[in-house]
């Protein structure tokens, strides 16, 4: 019997910038983009080349986005990806790129993206959106997926010898009607649907996972499930049976009894 690995060694190249594609910059994605800037500056402080990031999102900023996402009132009506990337480029002298289009169009227009990228981060808002992307993401890339409900969520890293997130948990590719994420009309409605801190907490933890992989060169877990209601985190081990069920978690007011029947989403 072959030995089950207990750690994963980083496959990131050390010869140049780590190239990242970030799909959607809403609740989780806008927070992730800010943390990618932090990782870039930290890598440069250590003498490395840092990150080169492309952000993809077709949506425009609305008033309801101002509470849980990282936008300003003066940016209402402008494209989300262009706003955030322009702000970071101007403030930090970066040359990151924004693509104001759907992920499907971006991948269709850039069929060789997998040869020009090290990591793809998906912060999409439904199982259907994940399913549309799943066949575009090869195992040769790292893939980090973030998703959440009202006050719970998950982040999962795969690829480069690890099971891809959607292969590990195929339930993430499905939606129930009650899980459909329709746009919020106001900031209050947005907060009623999702906890104020769920996106920032998930993005911080997911970024900490990336930083550990990049700076330490290895991981012994590939993500976590989070409940803000109970302030509990359940780590996802390196190796689990495939395809795996989403785990049972402590019962809380807004959290389903068994995540195996829950389809995570983002805001």
CATH number, domain containing residue 237: 3.40.50.720
Average pLDDT score over the chain: 85
Residue 197 belongs to some domain of the structure: yes
78-88 mean pLDDT: 98
202-255 pLDDT, tens per residue?
999 999 999 999 999 999 999 999 999 999 999 999 876 555 666 554 333 333
185-204 pLDDT, tens per residue?
444 455 557 888 999 999 99
Q: What is the pLDDT of residue 244?
A: 60
Residue 266 belongs to some domain of the structure: no
Residue 226 belongs to some domain of the structure: yes
Domain holding 64, by residue range, is 16-261
Residue 93 reports pLDDT greater than 80: yes
38-75 pLDDT, tens per residue?
999 999 999 999 999 999 999 999 999 998 999 999 99
The pTM (predicted TM-score) of the whole model is 0.85
Residue 3 belongs to some domain of the structure: no
- Give the DSSP letter string of the chain: -PPPPS-EE----SSSPEEEEEE--SHHHHHHHHHHHHHHHHHHHTTS--EEEEEE---B--GGGGTTSS--GGGTTSBHHHHHHHHHHHHHT---EEE-S-HHHHHHH-TTGGGS-SEEEE--SSHHHHHHHHTT--TTSEEEEEEE-SSEEEEEEEBTTBPPHHHH-GGGG---GGG--PPPSSHHHHHHHS-TTHHHHHHHHHHHHHHHHHHHSEESEEEEEEETTTTEEEEEES---SSPPPPB---BTTB-SBGGG---B--
Residue 102 reports pLDDT greater than 50: yes
Residue 154 reports pLDDT greater than 60: yes
């Amino acid at each position: 019997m072959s030995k089950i690995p207990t750690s994963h060694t980083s496959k990131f190249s050390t010869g140049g910038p780590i190239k990242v594609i970030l799909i959607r910059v809403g609740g989780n994605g806008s927070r992730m983009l800010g943390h990618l800037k932090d990782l870039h500056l930290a890598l440069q402080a250590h003498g490395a080349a840092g990150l080169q990031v492309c952000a993809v999102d077709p949506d425009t900023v609305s008033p309801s986005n101002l509470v849980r996402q990282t936008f300003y009132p003066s940016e209402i009506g402008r494209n989300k990806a262009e706003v955030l990337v322009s702000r970071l480029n101007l403030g930090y002298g970066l040359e990151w790129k924004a693509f104001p289009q759907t992920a499907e169009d971006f991948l269709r227009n850039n069929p060789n993206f997998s040869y020009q990228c090290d990591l793809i981060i998906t912060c999409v808002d439904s199982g259907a959106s994940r399913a549309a992307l799943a066949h575009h993401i090869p195992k040769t890339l790292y893939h980090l997926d973030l998703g959440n409900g009202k006050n719970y969520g998950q982040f999962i890293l795969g690829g480069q010898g690890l099971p891809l997130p959607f292969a590990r948990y195929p339930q993430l590719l499905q939606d129930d009607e009650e899980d459909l994420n329709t746009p919020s009309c106001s900031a209050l409605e947005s907060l009623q649907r999702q906890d104020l801190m769920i996106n920032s907490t998930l993005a911080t933890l997911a970024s900490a996972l990336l930083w550990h992989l990049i700076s330490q060169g290895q991981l012994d877990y590939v993500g976590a499930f989070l409940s803000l209601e109970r302030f509990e985190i359940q780590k996802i081990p390196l190796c689990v049976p495939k395809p795996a069920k989403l785990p049972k978690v402590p019962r809380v007011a807004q959290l389903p009894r068994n995540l195996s029947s829950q389809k995570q989403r983002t805001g």
